[in-house]
Amino acid sequence: METSLQIGNIAGIPVKIHWSFLLVIPLFAWIIGSQIVLTTELIRILFGVPIDATLITAGFNPYILGTVVALGLFFGVFVHEVAHSLIAKAKGIKIHGITLLILGGVSQMEEVVPDPKVELPMALAGPLTSLAIGIICSALVYVFPVLPDPAVAGVLIFTFGYLGILNVLLFAFNLLPAFPMDGGRVLRAWLARRMPLSRATQIAADVGKGFAVLFGIFGFLMLNPILILIAFFIYIGANQEATFLRYYVLLQDVTVADAMSNSLVTVEPETPLPRLLELMYETKHLGFPVVERGNLVGIVTLSDIHKVSPIDREAMQVRDVMTRDPITLPPSAPLIDALRIMTTHGIGRIPVVDDGDLVGIVTRTDVLRVMELREKA
């Protein structure tokens, strides 16, 4: 099921909104609105300017302003991610899209082994953009007091003062040296100039996990679910980054041809499902390419069979449950691409096709076997 809605594109980069983003906006609006008196006083103290709170606190205005500030914050997050993406694109990295999520935004980039000379400016671009937005919003706070209507000026001072503070905090938070945040990537880029990339990644990931543990402890002590969620996000992200680079190093220079199985067992679209189950028991394979007149037309797996009730299976054939037009790879494709596709699409095997001919199949087990052998070598 598609969980994100594309709302446009910028510089050829698709921009999407995840469903979780639609939940967090009203939540943020409520939090900001319910604390508006305290926040107004804090802005007055920090910026040293008088604030007329007449309109700010009237009626439903606190929650309307809360919504405006929340949308403004996420617009800043969006610009932050655009800055990352534009630098990456200029450095030749393919950008698949930008998605706004519950915890902010993320740029979906082509997974490549990071070059420290590219990663450093790319990682710094986002936080520096947030800092620039924060400085501009903060500077505008000192312009609004000259407006003739003090109440309108108070609303603008509150809105831009709040956004100024949030964007400066976003700058500082993102520069914490904790993977997968920008500061973690800055740390790795700096370390990678002094040691192997794999070692630099592991250190940066370990630092990220340390920050995650601290956030988690503070979150539990303060009964703050947002801190706990951030801790979980950082820990998982740090672990994934280290794992990806480990896989990449182990599978470097290995092609699909090096790992695939050449001894193919195929089935036809007319094969009855009971016979398919027997074949799985006989061969110990959980999936087969489906071939018709020598052409690959699909792939069928045990999970496809499980979607059908045992009674219905008796009258069904492979063609009724198979996945048509499956993802394929050529023998020359890097094996890391096969692993990435399997992980992204949640599949366990990929047919290997050379000049239109089915020549083999590569499974997740094949990939893991190669990794194990190279790790022990």
Helix (H, G, I), strand (E, B) or coil at 330: coil
Whole-number Å distance between alpha carbons of 5 and 2: 8
* pTM of the predicted model over 0.85: no
* Whole-number pLDDT of residue 231: 86
Q: How far apart are CA 232 and CA 215, in angstroms?
A: 9
**What is the chain's pLDDT, residue by residue, as a tens digit (377 residues)?**
456 777 788 878 888 877 777 778 888 889 899 999 999 999 999 999 999 999 999 999 999 999 999 999 888 988 998 898 888 888 887 777 787 775 666 777 766 556 788 888 988 999 999 999 999 999 999 999 999 999 999 999 999 999 999 999 999 988 988 877 889 889 988 998 888 887 888 888 899 899 999 989 998 998 877 788 888 888 888 887 777 777 877 887 899 999 998 888 899 999 999 999 999 999 888 899 999 988 999 999 999 999 888 888 888 999 999 999 899 999 999 898 898 888 878 888 999 999 888 999 999 999 989 988 887 75
CATH number listed for the domain at residues 256-376? 3.10.580.10
In three-state form (DSSP H/G/I as H, E/B as E, the rest C), the secondary structure along 96-130 is EEEEEECCEEEEEECCCCCCHHHHHHHHHHHHHHH
User: In the prediction, which pLDDT does 113 show?
Assistant: 57
Q: What angle do CA 330, 333, 337 make, to 5 degrees?
A: 120
Rounded Cα distance between 177 and 190, Å, is 11
Kindly provide the residue ranges of all beta strands, DSSP E only, lying in the chain, ordered along the sequence. 4-10, 13-18, 95-101, 104-109, 287-292, 295-301, 323-324, 349-354, 357-363
Both structure tokens of 285: 């394979």
**Annotated catalytic sites, by residue?**
81
Paired strand residues for 6: 16
Amino acid at 331: P
Q: Give Cα 181 distance to the centre of its chain.
A: 12
Domain assignments of the chain as residue spans, ordered by start: 4-175, 180-250, 256-376
Of 202, 283, 287, 252, residue with least CA distance to 371: 252
∠ at Cα 287 (283, 291), nearest 5°?
100
pLDDT value of residue 90: 86
Q: What is residue 371's predicted lDDT score, i.e. its pLDDT?
A: 87
* Cis before 180? omega within 30: yes
CB-CB contact of 173 with 103 (8 Å): no
